[in-house]
Amino acid sequence: MHLFEYPWPELASDPTILGLLAETERGRGGWEAVSDGRAAPLSSMASDTRIMSTLASNAIEGIRTTPERGLAVAGGIAAPRTHDEREIAGYRDALTLVQENHGAMEPTPGLILQLHRDLYRRSGESIGGRFKDSDNVIAEVGPDGALSTRFKPVSASRTPDAVEELCRAWSAAHEDGGVSPLLLCGAFVLDFTCIHPFSDGNGRMSRILTQLLLLKDGYDAVLYSPLEAVIERRRPEYYDALQASSMGWHENASDPRPFLAFHLEALTECQQEARRRLEGRGGAPTSKGDRVVEFMAFHQGPFRKADILAALPDISEITVKRVLAQARRDGLLELLGSGRSSAYLWRGDAGRP
């Protein structure tokens, strides 16, 4: 039976892990240096990133829709029509809850069940917010198309206790402070994935929980560049790392280093991308109209007039309306919907990073 025990003495001197930790901390410092005082562009970046995170995390699991529908559904502009779109919308709901309330959240079995319920709230399925009631396996498809078992997770009867032990171990180690929170985050996600506590949605839940734990410890670049998109781009490495670190897991003989290394590399890449995106916007705009244009020009998903007003509270609604109208006349904006439900998509290229 697996024991949830942190830390691991062998990691304290592992040169690869120590080097990656140092690089990630440098990336955090670099991001904080460039993001200080950039509230307006950060607001639009956060909105875009939530959309991209939602679409990428679902795409990893083969959950997709058309590009335009994906942007609209993940952005909360359009109601979902298909089963996949309902799952996309559910992920957005759960991710939004974490991103907006992470400071008051602790990784507990109750919270994990709540987030899973939110993930499936729109799907109409009854599995949301319930641990699996039958044993499952993690399978892979071979070159000949045949399925084979890659890993056998914790049994259904043992799952509630395993999740409780996992959360308790993370909490104790986090409070003790003897282990880097980055390593604790990676370890928690690895163990959660090996437990595989749900009949469906485990991969997406693991990425929502990754965001929760990183945000709790101040690694907020994930709000401004989608970590999930990094994982999607490096999907084969992601699964290889999971497989390598899950071998011998039940017997407490597994090596967490492959997955922890991937975890740290992905976060560093996310930090670097967030910094590039922000630095690509140049200096601060000189006029209020320019600031509205900057907000719009760097949005990759739909936005409403209310989003601009919330991000730029010192700019009047009259100014925002004027800039919106001019941008539409110049062919830079596409109007989505009408009336109070209307939103916009930026179609101009000026100012793109």
Mark the binding-site residues, compressed into ranges.
200-207, 238-239, 252
Q: Residue 125, by phi and psi: left (phi above 0), alpha (psi -120 to 50) or beta?
A: beta
CA distance 334 to 298: 14
Q: What's the residue count for the chain?
A: 353
Q: Find the catalytic residue in 196, 250, 263, 299.
A: 196
| Burial letters 163-196, b for 16+ CB under 10 A, else e | bebbbebbeebbeeeebbbbbbbbbbbbbbbbbb
Helices (H), the chain: 15-35, 39-60, 67-74, 83-101, 109-120, 159-176, 181-195, 202-216, 227-233, 235-246, 257-279, 288-297, 305-311, 317-329
- State the DSSP code for 286: S
3-state SS assignment for residue 351: coil
CA distance 20 to 144: 37
Q: Identify the bridge partners of residue 149 per DSSP, sorted by sequence position.
A: 139
- For the chain, the first-to-last Cα distance in angstroms comes to 50
List the binding residues for ATP. 200-207, 238-239, 252
Known catalytic membership, residue 83:
no
State whether the Cα torsion 169-174-180-183 is positive or negative: positive
The dihedral formed by the CA atoms of 199, 203, 205 and 207, expressed in degrees to the nearest 10: 180
Give catalytic residue positions. 196
